[in-house]
C-alpha cells in the first residue's frame, strides 16, 4: 500500500468516527480511531474479522453484518470523519 | 454491485461524511490477474485470470467515481496504485476461493459459462506446476489496485 495512505492513518489520531467496509482488514487501522464502524454483508467475514481483531481493539470496533445501503439508510447525516471502501465499490 | 448502486452508495457516503471528512476508496483495476508459482528465486508463470464480470465491475467503479466528481460531490486529493498479492497453500485452495467469488459476483449465466472453465483450467495448470515445483512452492495471484483519497465538496 502506498506510503501516503499509511501517513493518513498514522496522522489521524484525531479521528472520532470511521465507517469502513471490508471488515476483515479492520484491524489495520482500528487503533488509529476512537471508534470504527465495520460493515460487511458476509457473516463469515464478520466472524473472521472478530477473530483477527486484537483484544486491545475490541472496544474500538462495532461490527455490522449488513449491506452498505441498509446501513446508510439507517444512519444520520454527517456522522463520520472517514469512510473507507475496501474492495466494496465493485 | 450494479453501476447505479455504486453511484447511490457514493451519494450516501457524501451524506454520511462530515464536511471536513475523507473518503478512501480501494478497488482493483480492470485487467487480468497474473498467477505465479514462486520457489526461492525461481518464478513460474501459470497464466492470467480474467473474469469478465469482475473487470466490468471494476470499470464501472471507475466510472461511478468519475460521475460523482463531475457532479461536484467529491474531489480527488490524492491517488495511486499498488499490487495486492494473495498467497495460496495449494491450487485446491485457490480453486475453492475462485469458485466462491465467481458464484457470488457473476450476475449472468454467460459470465459464469465463460469464467468457470477458464478458472478451472488455470487451477489445473497451477496444480500440475505446484506438484512439479515440489515442497516450499508458493502460489501467488496478483491484482493491480487503485487507491484514492477524496474529500466532499
- Structural domain for A66, as ranges: 3-84
Q: Is the pTM here over 0.95, yes or no?
A: no
- Tally Cβ neighbours within 10 Å of residue A1: 14
Q: Name the residue among A4, A1, A39, A34 with its Cα closest to residue A20.
A: A39
Give the least confident one: B69-73, B104-108, B124-128. B104-108
On the 0-12 / 13-18 / 19+ scale of CB atoms within 10 A, A36 is buried
Give the residues of chain A that fall short of pLDDT 70.
1-27, 90
Band (B113; pLDDT cuts 50, 70, 90): low
Strand B138-152 and strand B42-49: the pairing is unpaired
Sign of the CA dihedral running A11, A17, B18, B4: positive
d(CA B75, CA B151): 6
A31 touches chain B (CB under 8 A): no
Decide: B105 and B54 in contact? Cβ < 8 Å.
Answer: yes
pLDDT of residue B112: 63
CA–CA separation, B137 and B59 (whole Å): 33
Average pLDDT, chain B: 87
Q: Is B65 left (phi over 0), alpha (psi -120 to 50) or beta?
A: alpha
**Parallel/antiparallel/unpaired status of strands B17-28 and B42-49:** unpaired
Give the pLDDT score at A14: 36
Residue A44 domain-assigned? yes
Q: What is the Cα–Cα distance from B139 to B86, expressed in whole angstroms?
A: 8
Rounded distance between C-alpha atoms, residue B87 and residue B118, angstroms: 20
Residue-wise pLDDT tens digits, A52-65: 788 888 888 888 88
Domain at A61, CATH number: 3.40.50.720
Question: A90 and B15: CB-CB below 8 Å?
Answer: no
Q: Does A8 touch chain B (CB under 8 A)?
A: yes
The predicted pLDDT at position B75 comes to: 96
Answer yes or no: is A79 within a domain.
yes
Number of domains, chain A: 1
Does some domain include residue A89?
A: no
Of A1, A72, A83, Cβ closest to residue B23? A83
Question: B residues 123-142 near A, CB within 8 Å?
Answer: none
Please report which confidence band the pLDDT of residue B111 belongs to, taking 50, 70 and 90 as the band edges.
Answer: low
Spatial separation of the C-alpha atoms in residues B39 and B136, rounded to whole Å: 6
| Helix, strand, coil percentages in chain B from 3-state DSSP, rounded to 5 | 50, 35, 15
Greater confidence, A60 or B111?
A60
Q: In which residue are the cell numbers 471490508 written?
A: A22
Q: Does A67 touch chain B (CB under 8 A)?
A: no
Q: What is the pLDDT of residue A40?
A: 80
pLDDT digits (tens, 9 = 90+) for B12-68: 999 999 999 999 988 889 888 999 999 988 999 999 988 777 777 888 899 999 999
Task: Tell me if residue B111 falls in helix, strand or coil.
Answer: helix
**To the nearest whole angstrom, how far is the Cα of B31 from the nearest Cα of chain A?**
14
Amino acid at each position: 500500500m502506498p506510503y501516503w495512505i499509511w501517513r493518513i492513518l498514522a496522522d489521524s489520531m484525531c479521528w472520532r468516527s470511521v465507517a469502513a467496509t471490508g471488515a476483515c482488514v479492520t484491524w489495520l487501522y482500528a487503533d488509529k480511531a476512537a471508534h470504527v464502524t465495520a460493515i460487511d454483508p458476509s457473516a463469515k467475514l464478520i466472524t473472521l474479522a472478530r477473530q483477527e481483531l486484537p483484544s486491545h481493539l475490541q472496544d474500538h470496533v462495532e461490527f455490522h453484518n449488513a449491506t452498505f445501503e441498509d446501513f446508510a439508510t439507517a444512519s444520520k447525516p454527517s456522522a463520520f470523519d472517514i469512510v473507507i471502501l475496501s474492495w466494496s465499490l465493485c | 454491485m450494479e453501476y447505479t448502486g455504486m453511484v447511490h452508495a457514493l451519494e450516501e457516503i457524501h451524506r454520511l461524511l462530515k464536511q471536513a471528512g475523507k473518503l478512501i476508496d480501494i478497488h482493483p483495476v480492470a485487467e487480468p490477474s497474473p498467477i505465479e508459482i514462486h520457489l526461492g528465486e525461481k518464478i513460474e508463470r501459470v497464466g492470467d485470470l480474467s473474469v469478465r464480470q469482475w473487470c466490468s465491475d471494476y470499470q464501472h467503479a471507475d466510472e461511478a467515481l468519475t460521475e460523482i466528481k463531475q457532479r461536484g460531490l467529491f474531489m480527488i486529493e490524492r491517488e495511486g496504485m499498488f499490487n495486492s498479492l494473495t498467497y495460496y497453500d495449494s491450487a485446491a485452495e485457490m480453486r475453492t476461493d475462485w469458485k466462491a467469488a465467481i458464484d457470488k459476483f457473476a450476475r449472468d449465466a454467460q459470465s459464469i459459462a465463460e469464467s468457470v472453465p477458464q478458472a478451472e483450467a488455470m487451477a489445473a495448470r497451477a496444480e500440475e506446476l505446484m506438484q512439479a515445483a515440489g515442497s516450499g512452492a508458493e502460489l501467488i495471484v496478483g491484482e493491480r489496485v487503485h487507491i484514492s483519497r477524496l474529500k466532499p465538496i
